[in-house]
């Protein structure tokens, strides 16, 4: 006897799937950490390295470049002596903060259940 197929009654996601689009950004290695560290304002490269100790310079550079291409952050070259570079979230990048906050809250609940 075969089982009857149940149809999903959830609304179908719009095409192209916006969930997939958003997850492509925050699912990248270290990307959520970079966004999290920029939530309070601009940070220089070395400040981000201090904020995220396990990340290598190569990976951080790759994440910053990727997030910049996706429109999540802006790179500012400051005319100081010596010149410095700061990274800052765009308005679009700032809209990811509530999603990351929600993920962190669920993470705390999952940890509590596990313990």
Query: What pLDDT was estimated at residue 14?
Result: 64
Q: Looking at the predicted structure, is the pLDDT value of residue 27 above 70? A: yes
Q: What domain range includes position 99?
A: 18-114
- Give dist(CA 90, CA 76) in Å, integer: 12
Q: How many domains does the chain have?
A: 1
CATH number at residue 37: 1.10.10.10
Neighbours of 26 (CB within 10 A): 14
What are 85-114's pLDDT values in tens digits? Answer: 999 999 999 999 999 999 999 999 999 998
Angle, CA of 3, 5 and 9, to the nearest 5°: 145
Determine whether 73 is exposed, middle or buried from the number of CB atoms within 10 Å of its CB (0-12, 13-18, 19+): buried
What are 30-83's pLDDT values in tens digits? Answer: 999 999 999 999 999 999 999 999 999 999 999 999 999 999 999 999 998 888
Residue 7 lies in a domain: no
Of the candidates 24, 12, 113, the one whose C-alpha atom is nearest the C-alpha of residue 67 is 24
Residue 95 lies in a domain: yes
Q: Looking at the predicted structure, is the pLDDT value of residue 13 above 70? A: no
Residue 43 lies in a domain: yes
């Amino acid at each position: 006897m075969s089982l009857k197929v149940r149809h999903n009654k959830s609304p179908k996601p719009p095409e192209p799937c916006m969930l997939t689009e958003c997850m492509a950004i925050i699912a990248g290695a270290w990307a959520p950490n970079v966004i999290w560290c920029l939530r309070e304002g601009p940070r220089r490269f070395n400040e981000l390295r201090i904020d995220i100790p396990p990340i290598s310079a190569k990976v951080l550079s790759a994440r910053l470049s990727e997030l910049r291409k996706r429109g999540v952050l802006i790179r500012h070259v400051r005319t100081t002596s010596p010149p410095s570079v700061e990274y800052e979230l765009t308005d679009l990048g700032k809209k990811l903060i509530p999603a990351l906050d929600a993920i962190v809250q669920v993470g705390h609940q999952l940890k509590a259940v596990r313990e």
